[in-house]
Amino acid sequence: MEDKFSVRTDLALESYQMNKDSNLDGIEIKTQSFDDIQVTIVKITNANGEKKLSKPIGNYITIECPKLVKNNVKYREQIIKILSDNINKLLENKKHDNVLIIGLGNWNITPDALGPKVISKVLVTRHIKNFIPDELKNSVRCVSAISPGVLGITGLETFEVVKGICEKTNPDLIFVIDSLAARSSSRINSTIQLSNTGISPGAGMGNKRVALDKKTLGSEIISIGVPTVIDAATLVNDTMDKILDAMRDACEKNFERDFLDTLNNIDSMQKYSMIKNILDPYEENMFVTPKEVDEVIERLSNIIANAINISLHNSINLNDINRFICK
């Protein structure tokens, strides 16, 4: 039954939900609600929790809001505030004077362009730090940013590029922004996950690379991601579940017991395996994203960039955010 939980997801919350009926020693859960926004903190505290969820020890904060996929100004500003507050919680009031922001992904593919889009909107100051008036220096941090591209475009592993930059600039804090994969279609483009454990570029797509974390880079890491795609086999599996549920209801009402018994005997492992076989040989490369992904990615990149701007620069608040978007 291990394959039952091999469905691709980068969200610690979804990993917890798929395993919550088992012994979850080493995992702590806390939930907060703000109108239509729910914030869930999954804290992995030991090796047992790490093994159960297949995630490193650390804090994973998931912000869910169905309104994110719509152009709702009220919720957009509220999400920026909540995201900024939770970034500050992960920073634990530590003073980080030299910050590097990395936007992972392929800028030519919209669902994978979240990282590069965020990079185009964050306020970078490293090149002007020496020219900032003395009275403002304590409220503006030294920030640099880069989108290193992907192996297929640059011929360089992301880790190689980032490691070289870190050796040259010595950041004490690194933000890593990336697109993720989700287990549930309802979380596509409506969920933001941030953590202090780092990230493995391409993991959601099955192209796992060297992790970008404190161990490999030597700096504190905050990763921020949004699930923009879902595995095709998972989506078909969920659709099939709904169809079977409707058929079971119809059978129960019409007393067609033989057919109902047949449906009940199809377990989740058999069903998922059948779907993967149907999609073969394309299953490994098939991911689905909503048709409005272009405009949603634009909005999400604004939200994430502005939350980072507010968190890093004390002189910026919600009233100022749109003044600092360069592109």
Which of 27, 3, 8, 1 lies closest to 202, judged by CA? 8
Q: Quote the pLDDT of residue 7.
A: 61
- CA-based angle 122:124:130, to the nearest 5? 160
Q: Quote the pLDDT of residue 326.
A: 46
What distance lies between CA 138 and its chain's CA centroid? Answer: 31
**d(Cα 77, Cα 134) in Å, to the nearest integer?**
31
What distance lies between CA 125 and its chain's CA centroid? Answer: 26
Is the distance from CB of 193 to CB of 61 less than 8 angstroms? yes
**d(Cα 142, Cα 127) in Å, to the nearest integer?**
8
| Six-digit token string for 122 | 């964050």
> What pLDDT tens digit does each residue of the chain (327 aa) get?
344 445 678 999 998 988 876 677 899 999 999 888 999 999 999 999 998 888 999 999 999 998 887 777 778 889 999 999 999 999 887 888 899 999 999 989 889 999 999 999 999 999 887 777 666 667 788 999 999 998 888 999 999 999 999 999 999 999 999 999 888 888 989 999 999 999 877 555 555 678 899 999 999 999 999 999 887 777 776 766 666 666 666 666 555 556 556 656 666 666 666 666 665 555 555 677 877 888 889 999 999 999 999 999 877 777 766 665 544
Residues 6+ apart with CB under 8 A from 9: 15, 18, 181, 182, 183, 204, 227
Class of the domain covering 2-234+284-324: alpha beta
Alpha-helical segments (H) within the chain: 12-19, 47-53, 73-91, 114-119, 151-154, 158-169, 214-217, 232-254, 257-264, 268-279, 293-312
Collapse the DSSP code of 26 into the 3-class scheme (helix H, G, I; strand E, B; otherwise coil) and give the result. Answer: coil
Q: Is the dihedral of CA 189, 15, 39, 122 positive or negative?
A: negative
Residue type, 168: K
- Surface-to-core class of residue 288, CB atoms within 10 Å of its CB (0-12 exposed, 13-18 middle, 19+ buried): middle
Q: Classify residue 68 by its DSSP letter.
A: G
Q: Quote the pLDDT of residue 75.
A: 84
Element (H, E) at 174: strand 173-182
Q: Quote the pLDDT of residue 35.
A: 82
Which of 107, 113, 303 lies closest to 191, judged by CA? 303
